[in-house]
Structure 1
């Protein structure tokens, strides 16, 4: 009884040493659309000397005199025929807003949706962003990068989680709101690029660029009147960390308790034998009393 009590006490007093997370290799299903956010400036210090395009109708209508509409082409390839996109290419063309306008600064954002379905089903939106500053007028810009999954906390082990199309909400830690079938309320946020980036960085689950290479071509007399942007992304399988579900947790609890029980029981028996052998417990003398029948 003492051995069992010590075993349980060690197991739960230490908070448990069993596996609370599991790691699986999974390829996120990523879908790009034509939604993009671009801001070009001449880098001359004038805050009003810019042109842009955004996926927000309200912002576009408010500053319609500063719009530069893009031509967007998205190509997705499934190289290994597993039903999930491995390579995505986004080609974008802008007509220069003015003949003398020089694009020396470019801020870009590309919006996407991703799905995970190995354990729990998680659907969410995300944004990939970067910026470039060059001393001469840009004619074209090319980016090639791997995309890997990035997480700030373990994924839930089961359930169906759908993040609303409003990209800039925060994942809630409320257990009730994380139940199966719940849609998360993102709320509203500013259209400023800085605010969008900040909210995207706070997302618990997102994709990020890795091993990026980019180059640019300056505008010359031979180049066209279009600013050309090209993005090539290779979506990689990533090691995703999931929370351990109840059945797996019970398995590891049982294994740990059994292991601790065996160790404690062995140590307890060895110590008891040593104490008795060295007379620590003293010698108990037993007197047998025999009654004779007369």
Structure 2
């Protein structure tokens, strides 16, 4: 394909991209730590309601003519289900937060925090900008590949589907490695790029910012020198300046006369 439909070749920014993604994943892990703390607090609060479960067990035992074992099993399953719901809610909240982060960052500045730190930006693979639809697609793909597969693996493990959970874990690790290798490959387009139709390039934001500061500071410095010279000239031409020059001339003459008299 040629023209506007041809996929633009991304610049060689593979290692920068890996570092940028590491920053974004680090932020996701930070959010996960907060959610884990909140979920732990909720589970602790749930444990304090064990008397309610005990009351439910007594009522069940009386109602079932002393079938205590069956009642205990039902109560235990109820408690386990409540804990499982809290864990699932935490995982869902993590995915929602990560998706919202990517979507907000891409719609606002065409870059996440990791891209900003590494001086990168996301664009459409066939054009210079990043449209809204591409940004949404990129955010969804990033959320799924960065954290979604891991969350699915954990949910499978929590649900007791250990084989499925282990399989998803292997898939998640494989996706991470494939994404990094493609980003550092000849085309410099990761799996996320290929699925979302985007590419990542150098933003040159840092270089342009330094150039603006340098270009803006030079005229200011020159203007300061001119202003200082004008101020000094006006000070010398003023009455005070003339009197100071005259006093300096008289002092110089006295010193010269004293030196000549001492030489004789």
Give 1 or 2: higher strand fraction. 1
TM category, shorter:
under 0.3
Larger Rg: 2
TM-score, length-normalised on structure 1? 0.26
Give 1 or 2: higher helix fraction. 2
